[in-house]
A and B are shown apart, each in its own frame.
Chain A
Amino acid sequence: MPESLSMIGQLVFAGLAVGGVYGLVALGFVMIFRATNVVNFAQGEFAMLGAYFLVTLLQGLKLNYFAAIVLALVIMAVVGLLFEITVYYPLRNRTFLPVIIATIGASIMFQNGALAVFGPSPEKVRPVIETVGGTGGITVAGVFFDYQYVIILIVTVLLVGLQYLFFEYTILGKKMQATSQDKDMARLLGIPVVFMIALTFIYSSLLGGLSGMLVAPIFFVTHKMGATLGLKAFAATICGGFGDVRGAILGGLALGVIESFGAAYISAIYKDGFSFLVLFVFLLVRPQGIFGEKVAEKA
C-alpha cells in the first residue's frame, strides 16, 4: 500500500472520529432547537463539563472508569435540568434573542467557572480501552485505528440508532416529537409540555457530556474545549441543514474530515478556522444546508 493512500485513510478515519463528536454535540443543538426554537449556545460547554466531571471522578476520587462515566452522566442530567430551570424557563415566553443571550451568558459562566475551579493547565484522561487491558489500537492496511476513535464512531452510530428507535417507537418519544412540533396542540392533548422540554434539555446535556467524555482522551481537557466543540457543532448543523438530525450527524462527520485534511495539507495553525470557512461558504451558497428546506414566516 502506497504511503499517501494510507495517509489519506488515516486522515479520513481520524476526521470521521472527531466529526462523530461534532455530530453528537450538534445533535444536542438540534434536539433543543426543535423543542424550543432556540439555539443553546452553552451546548459545547456541556461537553466541557462532562469531560471535567470524568477527570475529577477518575483522578480525584479514583473511581472505576465505567462507574465514573455513569456518575458523570448523572451529574450531567442534573446540570441539564438546572440549566433548563434557570436559563430557559424564565424566558420561555420571550423572543429568541433574550434566550440566546442568556445561553451565551451561561456559556461564559461555565467556561470561566471551570477555569476558576480546575485551573488553566490542561488535563489528560487515559483512553477507555486501557481499563480493560488494551492499548493503542490496531493497524489495518497501513491505517492505524486508535481504539478510542473506534469507540467514538461506534457510540455515535449506536446513539443515533437508539435515538431513532426512541422517537419512532416509544410513546415518550412521540410525545417529545409532538411537543417540538406544536406546543399548544401538545398541551391540549394532555402532554406535559414543560416536562417534555425539561427532558429535552436533560437529554441534550447528556449527549453533550458524553461527547466530552469521548474526546477527553484524544484532546486535552481545558476550559476552552467546549467553546470550540460547540462552534464546530453549530457549523455542522448549518451545513447539514438546521434542525435536521441526519444533517447534524453528516455535517459533523464532513467537517471532521475537512478539518483533518486541512490541518494536514494546508495549515495546522489555522485548523480551527476551516470549519468556519466552510460555514461561511454554506451560508453564502446554500444557507438552508444539505437537508434543510426554506421556511416562510407566516403573516
Chain B
Amino acid sequence: MTTERVKRAAALPWFKPGYLALALGAVVVVLLPLLFTSRYTTNLLILCASWGIATLGLVVVLGYTGQISLAQAAFYGIGAYAVALGTTRWGVNWWLALVLGLLAAILAGAVLGSTTLKLGGHYLAMVTICFQIIYTLITTNWIAVTGGPDGISNIKRPPFLIPLNSAQRYAWFALGALLLVAGLVWGLRDTALGRAMRAIRENELAAEALGVDTRRVKVIAFTLSAVIGALGGAIYASGYLYISPDSFNFDHAVAFLAMVLVGGSESALGAILGATLLTFLPEWLRDLKKIYLVVYGCAIILVIVFMPEGLWGYVKLLGRRFARQVPLPPAKRAMRVGRRGTPGEEILQVEHLAKYFGGLKAVDGVDFTVRRGEIHALIGPNGSGKTTCINLLSGLYVPTAGRIHFLGRDIVGLRPNRIARSGMARSFQNLRLFRELTVWENVLVGSQRAGGGEEETEERAMAAIEFTGLQDKVHEICRNLPYGHQKLLELARALAGEPELLLLDEPGAGLNQTEKQELIQLLKRLNDMGLTILIVEHDMSLVSQVATCATVLNFGEKIAEGTADHVLRHPAVVEAYLGDREVALGV
C-alpha cells in the first residue's frame, strides 16, 4: 500500500498524463488511416510516422542528454538501406534485415559516440556532420552495393499478422510503431537512466561527481538515438518501396533537428508534434517548397531564441495549471548514513598529495587522515589549496603525486563516478545543481548512486528530503528556489546516496546568520548520526562550532593539525591568516 503511495508521489502530477496520451494515441493510430484514405495522404501518414520515429531518437540524445547529433538522417538511412538491400538483393526475411540494420546502427552509433562524446558539444556537432556527409558520399558513389544515385526499388514489406499489402494497412503498422517508440521514449524519461541523462544535460560535472558514469550514459543515449533513427528509416523504406540517397542527406538531418526543436526537444509528444507539423507544412505551403529549408533555418533560430522548450512548452504550461500536485508522503524510515563501522577507524588516508598546474604548486605534499565519525575541517587562507584538495579526493583532478586511500582502497586515478559510488559524496563551492530538474529529481539522481531498485532510490531520496526539511519544495524546479534552499538541496542530494564520507566545499558561503545556525545544527545532527564529514570553510566560528579536528593549509602545504580550538590558536595559523603580528602592528 505504501509502495502505491510512493509510486504516485514519484510521478509528480497526480495522474500520469502519459497513460491517457497513450490511450488517445492508440485511438488516433486506428482512426487516422480510416479518415485519410487517398493514396497521397496515406503516404504522408507513413512518411510522418517514420520521420516522427527518427525525431524521437533526437529526443533521447538532444532533449534528454543535451548532446547534439546532426547524423540522424544517416542512421535513418542505415535502417532504410538494410531493409532495402536485405529484401531485394540478399533475399532475407524483412525482420532479419531490420535486425541487421539496427545492429549496424548500434555499431556505428557506439563507435561514433565513444570516440567523440568525451570531447563535448562542438566536436560532436562537427563529427556527426562529417559522418553524415561521408555516409552520403558512400551511398551515392558505392554503386555496386547501394545502387548509387538511382537508389533501390521493389522493396518488400514485412509480414505482420496480416499481409501489409495495402498502403492503409501499412500506415497502421507505421503509426503503431511510432506509438510504441513514443511510449518507450516517454517512459525512459523517469527511469534511473533517463534521470542520469537529464542530469548530464544540466550539469555534467555534478552528475559525474554524484556517481553517474557520464561517458557510458552518453554513449548509451547516442546509440539509442541511432537505433531509433534506423527503425524509422526501415519503416520509411518499406512504406515507399523505393529509396535513394537523396532521402538521407544532410538536409534531412537538419529537418529532423528542426522538428525536434520546434516540437519541444524534451518531450516525446512534442517531437511527434514537431514532426507532424514539419511533414505537413511543406505540403500545405506548396509555394514555399523552394525555400522551405530557409524557413526551417529561420524557424530553428526563432524557436531557440523565443521558445526554447518548443511548442510543447506551451502545452506543458497549460498542463501545470490543471495538474494537482500531491505532497510527498512521509518517509518510511529515517535517513541512514553509510554502513556502520567502528567509530575512530581511519577511513580516508591522504599521503604526500600533490597537484601542480604547470609551475603552480596548488597542493604540495599534504598528509592527513580522516577517522570515522569526525567532522574534519580543512582550512586555510584563500589560495591555500583547499578546494583543489577536495577536487583531488573526489577524482575531478588527477594528483601529480601522492596516495589517497578511501575505505582501504587506492582511489587515485579512478573516475569521479567510481569514487562517488564507493561512498564519497560532495557538494560544490559554487552550486552545481541540475537547474531545470525538480527538487525531487535532483535528490533522486543523488540517491541512485547507492544502487538498488527504483523503490529503494525513492525511499532514500524521501528520507534525505525530510532530513533537510525540503518537503514542501519537492515539485519546484530547482532554479526557482532561493539560494539558501539551493544550498540545502545540494546537501540533500549528496546525502541521499548514503555516503560514508561527505565532502562539503564551503557550505556556509553566502548564507545569512540564521541560515548558518541552521546549517550548524544540521551538521551536528549528521555527526550524531555517525556521518563522517570533511569540510572546507572560511567561517572560523562555524568551523570551531562543528569541527572535531582540523588540518590547516597554506600555499599548498600543511602547517598545522589537531583539534579545532588547538589549531586556531597555533602561531603559524594565526600568522597565515593575519600576517606576521609584529608587521601587522607596525613594530
Q: Mark B118-144, 1 if CB is under 8 A from A, else 0.
A: 110111011101110110010001000
Q: Tell whether B474 is near chain A: CB-to-CB under 8 Å.
A: no
Q: What are some 25 contacts across the A-B interface (CB < 8 A)?
A: A90-B305, A91-B305, A101-B300, A104-B70, A105-B296, A105-B299, A105-B300, A106-B301, A108-B293, A108-B296, A108-B297, A108-B300, A109-B301, A112-B291, A115-B293, A116-B294, A227-B250, A235-B126, A270-B137, A272-B133, A272-B137, A276-B131, A283-B119, A299-B390, A299-B428
Q: Tell whether B66 is near chain A: CB-to-CB under 8 Å.
A: yes
- On whether the beta carbons of B254 and A104 are closer than 8 Å, the reply is yes
- On whether the beta carbons of B66 and A39 are closer than 8 Å, the reply is no
3 closest A-B pairs by CB: A105-B300, A109-B297, A108-B297
Given contacts A91-B305, A279-B127, A270 and B257 within 8 Å (CB-CB): no
Which of the candidate stretches A10-18, A92-100, A208-216 sits at the interface with the other chain? Answer: A92-100
With A39-B122, A283-B127, A296-B396 already in contact, 5 other A-B pairs whose C-beta atoms are closer than 8 Å: A90-B305, A94-B308, A102-B300, A104-B254, A111-B297
Give Cα A217 to B129, complex, Å: 27
Residues of B close to A296: CB separation below 8 A: 396-397
Q: Name the distance in Å between B293's Cβ and chain A's nearest Cβ.
A: 4
Q: Tell whether A273 is near chain B: CB-to-CB under 8 Å.
A: yes
Q: Tell whether B68 is near chain A: CB-to-CB under 8 Å.
A: yes
Count of chain A residues near B, Cβ 8 A: 45
- On whether the beta carbons of A231 and B305 are closer than 8 Å, the reply is no
- On whether the beta carbons of B305 and A104 are closer than 8 Å, the reply is no
Given contacts A39-B125, A234-B126, A279-B127, A101 and B261 within 8 Å (CB-CB): yes
Residues of A close to B121: CB separation below 8 A: 96-97, 100
Residues of B close to A106: CB separation below 8 A: 297, 301
Q: Tell whether B41 is near chain A: CB-to-CB under 8 Å.
A: no
Q: Tell whether B153 is near chain A: CB-to-CB under 8 Å.
A: no
Count of chain B residues near A, Cβ 8 A: 49
Which of A104, A110, A279, A284 is the one whose CB lies under 8 Å from B257?
A104
- On whether the beta carbons of A273 and B115 are closer than 8 Å, the reply is no
Least CB separation from B204: chain A residue = A297
Given contacts A97-B68, A112-B291, A112-B297, A102 and B116 within 8 Å (CB-CB): no
Give Cα A270 to B127, complex, Å: 17
Question: Which A residues fall within an 8 A CB radius of B?
Answer: 39, 41, 86-87, 90-91, 94, 96-98, 100-102, 104-113, 115-116, 227, 231, 234-235, 238, 242, 269-270, 272-273, 276-277, 279-280, 283-284, 287, 296-297, 299
- On whether the beta carbons of B293 and A91 are closer than 8 Å, the reply is no
Interface of B, helix, strand, loop or mixed by DSSP:
helix
Q: Tell whether B304 is near chain A: CB-to-CB under 8 Å.
A: yes
- On whether the beta carbons of A100 and B294 are closer than 8 Å, the reply is no
Least CB separation from A227: chain B residue = B250
Which of A98, A111, A113 is the one whose CB lies under 8 Å from B304?
A98
- On whether the beta carbons of B298 and A105 are closer than 8 Å, the reply is yes
- On whether the beta carbons of A231 and B308 are closer than 8 Å, the reply is no
- On whether the beta carbons of B396 and A299 are closer than 8 Å, the reply is yes
Least CB separation from B291: chain A residue = A116
- On whether the beta carbons of B126 and A238 are closer than 8 Å, the reply is yes
Residues of A close to B299: CB separation below 8 A: 105
Give Cα A87 to B301, complex, Å: 7
Q: Tell whether B217 is near chain A: CB-to-CB under 8 Å.
A: no
Give Cα A248 to B428, complex, Å: 36
- On whether the beta carbons of A299 and B129 are closer than 8 Å, the reply is no
Residues of B close to A115: CB separation below 8 A: 293
- On whether the beta carbons of A116 and B290 are closer than 8 Å, the reply is yes
- On whether the beta carbons of B141 and A270 are closer than 8 Å, the reply is yes
Q: Tell whether B387 is near chain A: CB-to-CB under 8 Å.
A: yes
Q: Name the distance in Å between A214's Cβ and chain B's nearest Cβ.
A: 23
Least CB separation from A112: chain B residue = B293
Q: Tell whether B468 is near chain A: CB-to-CB under 8 Å.
A: no
Which of B119, B129, B141 is the one whose CB lies under 8 Å from A269?
B141
Residues of B close to A272: CB separation below 8 A: 133, 137
Q: Tell whether B391 is near chain A: CB-to-CB under 8 Å.
A: yes
Give Cα A97 to B115, complex, Å: 20
Residues of B close to A41: CB separation below 8 A: 125
Residues of A close to B129: CB separation below 8 A: 231
Which of A91, A105, A235 is the one whose CB lies under 8 Å from B297?
A105
Residues of A close to B205: CB separation below 8 A: 297, 299
- On whether the beta carbons of A113 and B294 are closer than 8 Å, the reply is yes
- On whether the beta carbons of B304 and A105 are closer than 8 Å, the reply is yes
Q: Tell whether B471 is near chain A: CB-to-CB under 8 Å.
A: no
Q: Tell whether B88 is near chain A: CB-to-CB under 8 Å.
A: no
Q: Which of B294-344 contact A (CB under 8 A)?
A: 294, 296-301, 304-305, 308
Give Cα A245 to B48, complex, Å: 45
- On whether the beta carbons of B115 and A284 are closer than 8 Å, the reply is yes
Q: Tell whether B429 is near chain A: CB-to-CB under 8 Å.
A: yes
Q: Which of B417-460 contact A (CB under 8 A)?
A: 428-429, 432
